[in-house]
């Protein structure tokens, strides 16, 4: 079922709940419809895959994507240039406005400010083999948030963060503007894939809940080599309409 989001202001939506929680796509459609999302802020956008999926499933509102790595950003920028309501920025988001070296990994488009953990190297093998570093610009989300939503009459923001273990740094850098986010998707792990990762489930969920969000879905992304234990989840959270924070 397609989404029909207005690029500014609110829109009316209908969706049946029979399949609202079966897949990530149907669940996000339900969330976007219920919350009237008209702006998606995509942090760690890589080459724009998430935005493309949103468009393919009918989302027509604004997308604002952040990706610091030059090779990834060139592909992301091309998508933005062909889409009138897709804004792209070549920098990372974290707790401080600065510049920093980001680690690049062979055999993948992954990049992280963190080094891989022993568990991450063992599980993903060549996928997390260090291939080099790249100096990138870093901003706080609260320093760029107003530009991201500029021109929207009534912004209804959904924040998606996938920064390879650095997710809570992005949320801390949101400051007070996190109150203006009504839906959130982050990548959670059960074991730290990166040394010092902040997106481990037991640490990240209490942090997100303390900011006024309630979980609505956890979708397994990868499992251990035996196919049983879940390593990564895509987790979706929303602000209950009855709660004020």
In sign, the C-alpha dihedral spanning 94, 52, 62, 213 is negative
CB 28 within 8 A of CB 5: no
Question: Any idea which of 26-30, 36-40, 50-54, 137-141 has the lowest mean pLDDT?
Answer: 26-30
Backbone angles phi, psi at 179, to 5 degrees: -65, -25
46: closest CA among 163, 126, 149?
Answer: 163
Regarding predicted confidence, which is higher, 91 or 19?
91
Distance between CA 240 and CA 236 in Å, rounded?
A: 13
At residue 5, the 3 state secondary structure works out as coil
Residue 21 pLDDT class (50, 70, 90 cuts)? low
Per-residue model confidence as pLDDT tens digits over 29-42: 999 999 999 999 99
pLDDT of residue 176: 94
Reported as a single tens digit per residue, the pLDDT across 83-101 is: 999 999 999 999 999 999 9
Instruction: Quote the tokens at residue 98.
Output: 């600065």
How far apart CA 128 and CA 197 sit, in angstroms, is: 15
- Does residue 225 carry a pLDDT above 90? no
The predicted structure's pLDDT at residue 22? 77
Q: Is the pLDDT of residue 14 over 60?
A: no
The backbone torsions φ and ψ at residue 195, rounded to the nearest 5 degrees and listed phi first, read -65, 125
Cα torsion angle, 200, 206, 210, 215, sign? positive
Whether residue 6 has pLDDT greater than 50 = no
CA dihedral 39, 41, 47, 51 (to 10 degrees): -30
Coil vs helix vs strand at 169:
helix
Contact present, 9 and 154 (Cβ < 8 Å): yes
Mean pLDDT of the chain: 87
Report angle CA 216, 218, 219 to the nearest 5 degrees. Answer: 130
Query: With contact defined as beta carbons under 8 Å apart, do 71 and 136 qualify?
Result: no
Distance CA 47, CA 66 (A): 10
CATH code of domain 24-95+137-238: 3.40.50.150
Question: Which pTM does this prediction carry?
Answer: 0.87
């Amino acid at each position: 079922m397609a989404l029909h989001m207005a690029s500014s202001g609110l829109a009316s939506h209908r969706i049946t709940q029979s399949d609202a929680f079966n897949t990530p796509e149907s669940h996000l459609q339900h969330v976007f419809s219920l919350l009237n999302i008209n702006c998606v802020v995509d942090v760690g956008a890589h080459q724009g895959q998430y935005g493309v999926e949103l468009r393919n499933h009918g989302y027509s509102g604004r997308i604002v994507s952040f990706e610091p790595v030059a090779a990834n950003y060139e592909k992301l920028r091309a998508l933005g240039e062909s889409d009138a309501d897709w804004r792209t920025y070549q920098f990372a988001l974290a707790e401080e406005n600065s510049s920093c070296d980001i680690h690049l990994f062979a055999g993948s488009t992954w990049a992280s400010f963190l080094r891989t953990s022993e568990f991450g190297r063992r599980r993903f093998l060549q996928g997390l083999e260090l291939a080099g570093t790249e100096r990138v610009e870093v901003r706080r989300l609260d320093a760029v948030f107003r530009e991201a939503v500029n021109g929207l009459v009534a912004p209804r923001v959904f924040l998606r963060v996938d920064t390879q273990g650095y997710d809570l740094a992005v949320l801390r850098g949101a400051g007070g503007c996190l109150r203006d986010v009504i839906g959130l998707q982050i990548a959670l792990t059960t074991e730290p894939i990166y040394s010092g990762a902040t997106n481990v489930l037991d640490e990240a969920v209490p942090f997100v809940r303390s900011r006024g969000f309630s979980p609505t879905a956890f979708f397994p992304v990868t499992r251990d080599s035996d196919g049983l234990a879940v390593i990564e989840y895509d987790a979706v959270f929303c602000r209950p309409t009855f709660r004020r924070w």
